[in-house]
């Protein structure tokens, strides 16, 4: 990749290194680890992905800890407001770092659109990013989530996750993950 790409990835990682939330297994900032996992999963699923997708994957949760869910009202409306505000924040923060690294406006706009999740199911790059997000969730975060929630909640979340994915990604996930029999239908 180009020098400017390396600079923007390093800047995202540097911003995320300030995350006070540490991963229990590694002791590393959780946001840095999440960004690395996103990049690794993208490289595994689509090694020839566009640079915009690679940047969006790495910066998808940049400085997320600065806007905790608890700072928004309970319920669906509060959750949706939080997610919308986060997407806008992430897009602005990452594109600011891209500008510093020398990316032009059109390149920044492409990444901002991905980070705001515009065009899911219509934009192949957006769909790829969403597939990666879902794979990272199931690979790294699903088991701890499932351990804390009732089976019906787990099934509901897994079904919602699967609906966001492309048919190809759902099929691949069904092949790659050994889900318990009562959860496997969520990927159908």
169 or 1: which leads in pLDDT:
169
| C-beta separation of 182 from 155 below 8 A | yes
> Whole-model pTM above 0.75?
yes
- Residue 39, pLDDT score: 99
Q: What is the pLDDT of residues 119-130, one digit of tens each?
A: 888 999 999 999
Domain ranges of the chain: 1-116, 124-188
Q: How many other CB atoms sit within 10 Å of the CB of residue 123? A: 16
- Residue 180, pLDDT score: 77
Q: What is the pLDDT of residues 94-138, one digit of tens each?
A: 999 999 999 999 999 999 999 999 988 899 999 999 999 999 999
Q: CA 147, 150, 154: angle at the middle one, nearest 5?
A: 75
CA pseudo-torsion sign 148, 157, 132, 70: negative
- Residue 83, pLDDT score: 94
| C-beta separation of 3 from 51 below 8 A | no
């Amino acid at each position: 990749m180009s020098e400017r790409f390396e600079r923007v990835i390093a800047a995202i990682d540097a911003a995320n290194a300030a995350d006070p939330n540490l991963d229990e297994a590694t002791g590393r900032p959780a946001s840095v680890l999440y960004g690395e996992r996103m990049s690794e999963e993208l490289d595994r699923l689509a090694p020839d992905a566009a640079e915009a997708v690679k940047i969006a994957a790495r910066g998808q949760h940049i400085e997320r800890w600065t806007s905790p869910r608890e700072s928004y009202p309970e319920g669906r409306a509060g959750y949706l407001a939080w997610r919308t505000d986060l997407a806008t924040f992430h897009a602005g923060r990452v594109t600011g770092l891209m500008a510093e690294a020398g990316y032009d406006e059109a390149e920044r706009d492409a990444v901002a659109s991905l980070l705001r999740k515009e065009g899911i199911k219509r934009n192949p790059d957006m769909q790829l990013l969403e597939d990666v997000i879902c794979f990272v969730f199931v690979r790294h975060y699903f088991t701890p989530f499932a351990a804390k929630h009732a089976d019906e909640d787990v099934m509901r979340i897994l079904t919602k996750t699967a609906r966001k994915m492309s048919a190809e990604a759902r099929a691949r996930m069904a092949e790659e993950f050994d889900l318990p029999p009562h959860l496997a239908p969520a990927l159908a």
